[in-house]
Amino acid sequence: MKKIILFGGILGGAILVFLVLIIGTLIWGGGILRERLPTWLDGGQRMVSVAIMKAEELFPGVKEQVRQVAPGLIETVEKIIPGGEIPAKDVSGEEINPTPRFPNMIRVSYAVENQKKMVVYKGRVNFAVVREFYQKEMLAMGFREKVVRAYPEEEIHQFNKGGQDLEFRFRKIPTVLSEFTELTIKEL
């Protein structure tokens, strides 16, 4: 009888340790999944986006052929991938004077903090074209330019004239079949 009780105690203890290890592994795995899932999803979306852009480079006109074969497919794919949505009209707010607005850019965000304005625009326009437009316009108005940071998909420029200091953050947002540019103008 003592051997059965002892064997039952050892077996019960082993089962308890096994259950604790399984529960610990599930909690640890859930933490890793929660931490890394957004990165994995973003990587997958970028791979799809790059693959479709490469297909368009290799086979010009493939986008129009896809539209003919499966109407609505391109729009559906662009809705799935974040960054592709632009509102139809400006959100409330105002411009930062004397800054001009690039044609076809929509104001998607406006904020005032410590009496300093910040305006965000988004448009289905080429990143380099937007950057060159603002460089030319701001220099023509007498602003001095300083490049703070430059990467292939993002650049930060500061313009100052008199007591007015402005920061322009140009960000390229590649999507499946087009390119968006996001421009943040902030008073410093």
Burial class (CB in 10 A: 0-12, 13-18, 19+), 71: exposed
| pLDDT tens, residue by residue, 99-156 | 999 988 999 999 999 999 999 999 988 889 999 999 999 999 999 999 999 998 899 9
Residues 26, 28, 30: CA angle, nearest 5 degrees:
65
**Extents of the domains making up the chain:** 2-79, 83-187
Residue 96 burial class via C-beta count within 10 angstroms: exposed 0-12, middle 13-18, buried 19 and up = middle
Both structure tokens of 45:
């979306």
Structure tokens at 170: 């140009």
pLDDT of residue 86: 74
User: Which pLDDT score is estimated for 112?
Assistant: 93
* pLDDT, tens only, 86-100: 778 889 999 998 899
Q: Which CATH architecture has domain 83-187?
A: 2-Layer Sandwich (3.30)
Q: What is the pTM (predicted TM-score) of this model?
A: 0.58
